[in-house]
Chains A and B, each alone.
Chain A
Amino acid sequence: MGNWAGVTVEKSEVYFTYKNHEFHIVDLPGIYDLKATTDAERAAVSFLQGDELDVIVNVVDLSNLKRNILLTLELLDLGKPVVLALNMADEAERSGIEVDLPGVENLLGARACLTVGKTGEGIDTLLNYMLASQEGGVTSGAVADRASADKDALRLPRGESDETEEERWRLADRVVKEVTSFESRKKSRVTDRLDKILLHPYLGIVLYMLAFYLMFKISFDFSAPYMDWIDGFMNNFLSAGFSDLGAKIGLPALMVKFVNEAIIGGVGFVLTFVPLIAILYYFITFFEMTGYLPRIVFLMDRFMHRIGLHGNMMTPLLLAFGCNVPAIMATKNLESRTDKILVTMMIPFMSCPARLVVFAFFSFIFFEHPALVIFSLYMMGVVVALLTALVLRRSYLKGKNASFILEMPPYRLPSFRIVSVIVWAHVKRFLYRAGTVIFIVSIIVWGLLNLPPGIKGPDESIAASIGKAITPVFKPIGLEDWRATTSLIPAFMAREVVLSSMAVIYKTTSQTQDATEQGNLPELLREQGKGLLESVKESFLSVATFGISSLKVETTGDSDSLRKSIQKAFTPASAYSFMILLLLYNSCVATVTVMIREIGRKYALTFLTGSFVIAWVLAFIIYNLSKAA
């Protein structure tokens, strides 16, 4: 995710085979040294000191060898095989830094190779060295033998006293002087120039808001035509095609109904939002990798301090826009427990892409300027989070602000390949959820809508009974339809499940459902292909225009699309009220689980109750105000 400490907060793992050897790589949270002060650092240090590893790969920023070699010296002191990946070799070369690799190996007694993370250069050598370290025993094989024989090999200082620390710095200095040569080249002042603008106390904030607005605008504009196309593909091609096929081969009507409503209607509908999720993650990952995120933390610190918070708390809060779960895990980087509880209680108010999926759907249908509506919801989440912090800091979670320390990395243009790999990991997780949680929830909702056996319509179903029972609670905020309130229940599993549940509920209860007249398959496929090409053209054109495009809502014809049903069932005021509820009430089960793990059951349950009350009260006020206006 990033090349500085504090970005990765939990270890992530990957398995692969190389030269017939099974590799299990564990990426640990970044650390500057082995003296851990936060939960994330403690996790990394404890793993390094444990017995689960065969070889430590120390990824060192070559452009800043001295500072990084300090950790290397501590790692070597652990007595485990260490291989050095001298990374960002391209950047070091551009800065005029040359390194004597055999010199590094002799001095440190560990294999070292040059790598460029952006391009993957040097990875083969690194893997070979990792293998060699295993074949050669605990101390890095042949190199270690050479190192022990070399009179110049470093004698590592042991212990944790101030003197030891200073001795390590002296050694780091010696390593750098002996193994690197520096040819002074004109340094790029890009970072300084950009910082003058982006860190300006007023202009910086304006640009930050603008960047986030543009992120939403471009994401929606670009993805809307594809979402439209996928929706059409699901409804007009897959669903209708399956009905047609079912009729031709004599499939039981209940089975056709199940596939159309629960699977295509539920899971398929959620899949229409894959383009939006992907593009949004491109932006978030890009901001993270360019080094802009720490600048936002810095900019916001001044404001945060006024309400009893500090800039370090911004990192988990910003991560929450990507997903609340890793954001809560990122609170491991906060040293004070009070701060950790406080930030954890703010995080679920930050809207994640799962909620965005629902906001996008409703905003596109009911409002002329969907991006503005979504932006207002995001801002509402931020304001509620800040007010929550303000109240808690002055009541239950009093505490002195910890000192603010932050490393400001230089700006870097991330590689498209690496950004794409990260985005793909997020999309894969979304697809996995669609195939598991959303799939199961869709089936359960469909079952509840069709049970008990023998009912005349979904009005008599178990789901309807539950929905009707809870509707009085939501009536004052404009949600009078049992179908809308019922869809809120499974939202606890995952926010995006609301749409799949609605798709199942409204499709099942729709009386207009009828198989679309079918053409032949090649003709239908040709039509879909033409539609896709049209979407590609539209996506580029809409980004180039000033306005924000909306999804098309068909209001004529026999189409029983969810959009049409929703348009009939909600008003703009009740739609906004529904979105407020989804934004603020409770959280998904994954977030709650992590919350309980990180801050305990008592605080998690307090949050769940409190957030529902806040959501209901705000929805009530805004709904009634907009009705009166």
Chain B
Amino acid sequence: MTIRDLNHNSEAVFTGAKDYKHACLRKLRSMGLQKGSRIRIKSIQGRNIILHVMELGVELVIDKDLAGEMEVC
């Protein structure tokens, strides 16, 4: 399952990306989203998703294409 499959307000644990060499995914990691991070979908709007990295209190916006690369459980 990927972040793209999650619904509004649902919580999950980020388990990694299909391709971590993707520059954006590397950047997301430095922005606070790492393997094991607990996330909550704050909002899905248009082609973007706002996710809340719960332990850091950080909110990140990612587009759905990228979200489809990011696996959760």
**Chain A residues with a Cβ under 8 A of chain B:** 32-33, 35, 37, 63-64, 66-67, 70, 162, 165-166, 169, 192, 195, 199, 201, 298, 301-302, 305, 310-311, 335, 402-410
Interface pair B23/A37, CB less than 8 Å apart: yes
Interface pair B50/A408, CB less than 8 Å apart: yes
Contacting residues, chain B, for A32 (C-beta < 8 A): 27, 30-31
CB closest chain-A residue, reference B22: A403
Q: Known contacts A64-B57, A66-B55, A407-B59; is A37 also within 8 Å of B48 by CB? A: no
Q: Interface SS of chain B: helix, strand, loop or mixed?
A: mixed
A311 to B66, CA, bound (A): 14
**Of A302, A402, A406, which contacts B46 at CB under 8 A?**
A302
**Of B32, B48, B58, B65, which contacts A298 at CB under 8 A?**
B48
Contacting residues, chain A, for B35 (C-beta < 8 A): 166
Interface: B15 (CB within 8 A): no
Bits for B35-73, please: 1 = Cβ < 8 Å to A, else 0: 100000011011110100001111111110110000000
Interface pair A302/B60, CB less than 8 Å apart: no
Contacting residues, chain A, for B58 (C-beta < 8 A): 64, 67, 407
CB closest chain-A residue, reference B60: A407
Max count, chain B CB within 10 A of own CB: residue among A67, A70, A162, A402: A67
CB closest chain-A residue, reference B24: A403
A33 to B26, CA, bound (A): 10
Contacting residues, chain A, for B24 (C-beta < 8 A): 402-403, 405
Interface pair B55/A405, CB less than 8 Å apart: no
Closest Cβ of chain B: how far from A407's Cβ, in Å? 6
Number of interface residues of B (CB under 8 A): 31
**Of B32, B43, B56, B66, which contacts A195 at CB under 8 A?**
B43
Interface pair B48/A301, CB less than 8 Å apart: yes
Q: Known contacts A67-B31, A67-B32, A162-B20; is A406 also within 8 Å of B61 by CB? A: yes
Interface pair A302/B48, CB less than 8 Å apart: yes
Extra pairs beyond A70-B30, A298-B50 (10, CB < 8 Å):
A66-B32, A165-B29, A195-B43, A404-B47, A405-B28, A405-B62, A405-B66, A407-B31, A407-B59, A409-B59
**Of B45, B50, B62, B66, which contacts A302 at CB under 8 A?**
B45
Interface pair B45/A201, CB less than 8 Å apart: yes
Contacting residues, chain B, for A402 (C-beta < 8 A): 24
Contacting residues, chain B, for A310 (C-beta < 8 A): 63
**Of B29, B30, B59, which contacts A408 at CB under 8 A?**
B59
A140 to B46, CA, bound (A): 50
A451 to B20, CA, bound (A): 69
A410 to B57, CA, bound (A): 9
**Of A33, A64, A67, A404, which contacts B48 at CB under 8 A?**
A404
Q: Known contacts A66-B55, A67-B56, A169-B34; is A404 also within 8 Å of B27 by CB? A: no
Interface pair B57/A35, CB less than 8 Å apart: no
Q: Known contacts A169-B34, A405-B31; is A335 also within 8 Å of B62 by CB? A: no
Q: Known contacts A35-B26, A64-B56, A298-B48; is A403 also within 8 Å of B63 by CB? A: yes
